[in-house]
Structure 1
């Protein structure tokens, strides 16, 4: 496992850390991973990664064997091994215009990486952070894979741990498929974005096939719930039928189209509302809206049944007619996702 992570760590620096000089602000090894005006904290974080990557590449020039995952894992300090165990390379991929860069922008905002959310097409004269090329901001599409990083704090056994993940936004246009192929080689996992109106599209099938080729675990995210004609259940059904992936919802929407307010978490059975002028404030409530209570129970049961089909532990509980705990459901989702 350590050698595998070391291999991905090196590949990240080699494949994505050596992009075209004009895209240097998006390279993992660059001192300014998103813009040239990053804070001192961001600079100090990337400077450490830059030094490590430079040292690895320099040593590889002297001795090619030093670049192998086995060599890196064997010569890694305990502190570096611990840090590496909390690093994840996560990619975002989908059909064109499914909202990949918009989702990336939200991830960066909610993790505190950026202070405000901007429009992908640059209507506010700023543009999305992940689209640095002028043509990308003008056309509103991603042309070249872009990478940045963010931190996420998670409480484990009563102790807060910080996980560092490298976020890779890939193009959705069929002409830039090679960019997706290039990024998939270094990923620990991926998020496959689907439009709530269009569902599974042609490039979605291509991206899924590429992920299978490189054994990349992925989860699906149904986007654009505020569009007219949004139907997340059609998207979930198409994942099962068109992609042949056993999928079940872990959230249900509260409203849709112009009445979309938030989601219900089927694992914790909580409601999450997106409030504020642009939905930037998230409010969590233990109360599920009355009209959705029966649907939430039904979809949670469907989730457990789907997990029972692919996970032995949940299958045993299901056959014994026992209700799995939230922790057991989360663990089963993780096992089922990483095993595919």
Structure 2
């Protein structure tokens, strides 16, 4: 692009001399006018002239490309550009090539991603999208817009539930794509086991996409293997809790696995469980919290003798209070949780 020193106003360029720029219509005596860069001001004045004529042409595409490079968050310009591309039946492949360049510089601009979605829908071809989003995630592995777009592409084109593209793929091909997602996420977690976005995507693939197969026991094993490596990883503990909720299993069903992590007794881990890494930081205070929540859950449960519920409530309270040592910043929260556990017995009829 031109620099301010070499920039030529649009009305002085060949093919634009017939346009009369339309300035921004600020309020009379505007108190705080926006100090637009002159290059950007000229581009927008020219764009408004084109919009006023309802013009969708090659020069419209030229002007809008300048603007989105200067301001990739201008959704009105993106929308008019998309309408122009569709009206002219322009090469959507060329537009994807342009977006390949732009998105990596503007990963957090949802307008860029929305435009890409429009173009891919017009092409009805998702063949570039998984590789493209993988490259974008290699730049920023936790970018929300990239993950949301990847999930949209998977659901729209590789699901038997929606999307015109899904009709072209065989069930075997669709399953191959979804199985590949699990391998892809596993690679991300190998690189960064605390990547909460990757954990979230794995849960989406395994449980919410409808394509995870018999995911329950497989994912329980997987997350336990990761916790045995890094037992103070909040993302993995949240994933574990999500699985148990999905399978309607109590927290106490995993006490045998969690207890050695909480008590720093890795040698007592049952042989059926993944071995604890020698580099694991123990005791894991998140494991203590898990056991405290499990005991509190049992204390609230109906169908138990009051004496048993009182014992569980006391156990939960003691565990919560012990967390003050490991997480003193939230000491008042842990004390509050202890009081709630003790009071829970009286709440159960």
TM-score range, shorter chain: under 0.3
Larger Rg, first or second structure (1 or 2):
2
Of Structure 1 and Structure 2, which has the larger fraction of its residues in strand? 1
TM-score by length of 1: 0.27
TM-score by length of 2: 0.27
Of Structure 1 and Structure 2, which has the larger fraction of its residues in helix? 2
